[in-house]
Chain A
Amino acid sequence: MAEPLIYSDTQLRGILGRVRRIAMVGASPNWNRPSYFVMKYLLEKGYDVVPVNPRAAREVILGVPCVATLADVPGAIDMVDIFRASDAVDAIVDEAIALREAKGIKVIWMQIGVRNDAAAVRAKAAGMEVVMDHCPKIEYGRLHSELSWGGFNSRIITSRRRKVQIR
C-alpha cells in the first residue's frame, strides 16, 4: 500500500490562503457533478477559477469561459486542481511543469480519489507543492468551521475567537 497522505492544517491553510487563481482540470458544465459543486463554492469564496476541459471548451461554466488546455488559460495560474482519473494525471502534471515558469504555477492539487505518486514526485522536483486525494472545498470548509455545520468531525480544537468577515 502507498504511504498515507498527511497534510498539516498549517500547510493546507497556507495553500488556500496564498492561492487566488485556480485552473480546474476536468470541470463539468453539469450542475450536479462534483466538480461543479467545488467550482461554485470556490468562486463564492473569492477565488478565480478557470475551467479546463476540452469537451466543454466552447461552453461557459458558472460565468467563466471554459478552455481546452492549461496553456489556453488566460494569465497566471496559482494552482492546478485536477478532477480526472489518477492515470490521466501524468499528462496534466507534465503540462503544468512545462508551463510552471510562464504561468507561475505553485500548487498541484488532486481531488478525492485522485492520486499519482510518480507525478507528485516530478511536480515536487519542479518546485511545486502537491496535495493528493483531498478536496479544496472540504478542506476550506473544515478549516473555516463550515464543515462542522453539517455535523462533521473537523478535528479542530481551539479557544481562539475566529475572525468573521461580514459579507
Chain B
Amino acid sequence: MSKSEKDDFGFETRMIHAGTPPEPITGARQTPIYQNTSYVFHDADHAASLFNLQTFGFIYSRLTNPTVAALEERIASLENGRGATCCASGHAAQILSFFPFMEPGDAFVASNRLYGGSITQFGKTFKKFGWQAHFVDVDEPENVRRALTPKCKAIFVESLANPGGVVSDIAALADIAHGAGVPLIVDNTMATPYLCRPFEWGADLVVHSLTKFLSGNGTSVGGCVIDSGTFDWAQNDKFTGLTGPEPAYHGLRFHETFGDMAFTTHAHAVGLRDLGATLAPMNAFQTLLGIETLSLRMERHCANALAVARFLESHEQVAWVSHADLDSSPYRALAQKYLPRGAGSVFTFGVKGGYEAGVKVVESCELLSHLANIGDTRSLILHPASTTHRQLSDEQRAAAGAGPEVIRLSIGLETVDDVIADLDQALRRAAGLRAAE
C-alpha cells in the first residue's frame, strides 16, 4: 500500500513502520543493526554502476548504511520530505544543509536567537569556509529582507528556538526566502515533526539534532537534514553546486540527473563522502527505537512542561517565564498557529537574584539533572550563561534569551508533581542564599 492508493498512513503508523519493512532475507521484524563498513560487489560492472551513482546500493558505510538508511526514510516520511541524510550530530546536519550549494564568499541570513552553539558554529567556524552568517531579529520581516544581499543563498531559523520560547513565523519567512530565490532552512529539533512540520508552511530544508526528542532517551548523538524536494535549484544561477558539473563525478550534474532527489543524493555522495561526519549504525538503531514512541512522549513532555511553567509563573522567586503556551508569551499566537499540539518542553525562566541565584538553583536540584542536553525522558536543568552560552558576548546572550538570571529547563516524563517539588525546594534554597547576603 502507499499514498497513491490510500490517503497516506497516519503519523503514528509511520513513526513505527516507515523505512522498516521486515528484513527480506531472514524475516527479522525489528531493524537489524548493520554494524558493518563495506558491501560486496556482484562484479566489476556492478561496482562501476555504484561508484558512478547509476544504480542504488551500498558501497561503504561512510556514505550509506542500511540501518542509517532506514532511519533516514522514517524521518523523511514524518517530515513529509523527499529524502533525508543522517549524520553524526545536529551540528554536522547544519554544515551538511549548506554544503551542497555554498561556496567561499557566499552568505546566508540566520536568526539571532538560535541555540548558542549554532551561533558559534555559524559565526566563527563557518567563517573558515568563507561562509558569512548575517544574524538578524527575524521577528521583523524587514530585517530579513534588508540582510538578504545578492551573496545570500539561504535563510536559517529554528521553528521553536532553544531555549527562549521563541516561535518563528515560518510561512512569512518562506515567502521572503522564495521572493529572493533562496531556500528556507528550519531547525525543527525542539518541535519534532509531531508538533510542527515546516514543509507544510513552505520551508525547503529541515535539520534535526536526533540527540534530543527523536532518540528521546539521551543515549545517542546524531543529526539529520531533510529535503522537501520542492525547491527549484535551477531557478537562478545561485546553486551551481547542484546544477553545474560536479568535478568529482566527471562532470555529472546532480539536479539534471536526480531531479527532486538531487540534494539528498549530493549530501550523501559528496557531503558525507568528503566531510565524513557519518552516523553510527547503533545510534541510528537507538533513534529508530525512540521515534516509535515519539507522539506519546511529546504529548506528555508538553503537558508536564506547561504544568511546570504555570507553577513557576506563580512562584515568588521567579521573575518571568518564557514558554510560548503561556498567555503572557508574545509568541502565543504563533505557537497556536505552528504548534497547536503544544510548544514543546524546553523553556526558560528568570530567577530573582541574577547569576548567583541561577547557579544556586541549578546546583540545588536533586531530581532534575544538571547537564547540557535537552529532549530526554529525564528532566534537565541548565544555567546557559555559565555553560552552553558561555562563549557568546553579553549582547549575544541577551539576544539569545540567555542572560545572567536565565535558567533553561527540559521537562521530562517523570510524575510532574515530583518535578515541581524539586524546583520549589531549589528555588527556596537559592532564596536563602540571597537573604544571607
Contact = CB atoms under 8 A, between A and B. Distances in A.
Contacts of B21: 145, 156-162
Contacts, number: 126
A41 B54 contact: yes
A151 B54 contact: no
Contacts of B54: 36-37, 40-41
B86 interface: yes
Interface string B54-65: 111110000010
A75 interface: no
A107 B99 CA distance: 41
Interface stretch (A3-11, A49-57, A94-102, A120-128): A3-11
Contacts of A146: 56-57
Interface in B1-38: 1-5, 8-9, 13-14, 17-19, 21-22, 24-25, 27
A135 B56 CA distance: 14
A40 B81 CA distance: 28
B249 interface: yes
A138 interface: yes
Given A7-B4, A157-B2, A149 B69 contact: yes
A156 B82 CA distance: 13
Contacts of B57: 146, 149
A113 B262 CA distance: 14
B56 A155 contact: no
Given A37-B257, A40-B55, A164 B73 contact: no
Nearest to B9: A157
A: contact size bracket: 35 or more
B268 A151 contact: yes
B: contact size bracket: 35 or more
A154 B24 contact: no
B42 interface: yes
B257 A34 contact: yes
B259 interface: yes
A156 B74 CA distance: 11
A116 B142 CA distance: 42
Given A32-B251, A150-B261, A151-B64, A8 B70 contact: no
A113 B234 CA distance: 13
5 contacts: A8-B5, A9-B5, A32-B252, A150-B83, A167-B42
Cβ-closest 10 pairs across A and B: A151-B72, A146-B56, A153-B76, A152-B83, A162-B24, A155-B3, A161-B22, A8-B4, A164-B24, A37-B54
Interface of B: 1-5, 8-9, 13-14, 17-19, 21-22, 24-25, 27, 42, 46, 49, 52-58, 64, 66, 68-70, 72-73, 76-77, 80-86, 249-252, 256-257, 259, 261, 264-265, 268
Given A9-B1, A158-B1, A164-B24, 10 more contacts: A31-B52, A31-B250, A36-B54, A40-B49, A151-B86, A153-B73, A155-B77, A157-B2, A157-B13, A164-B25
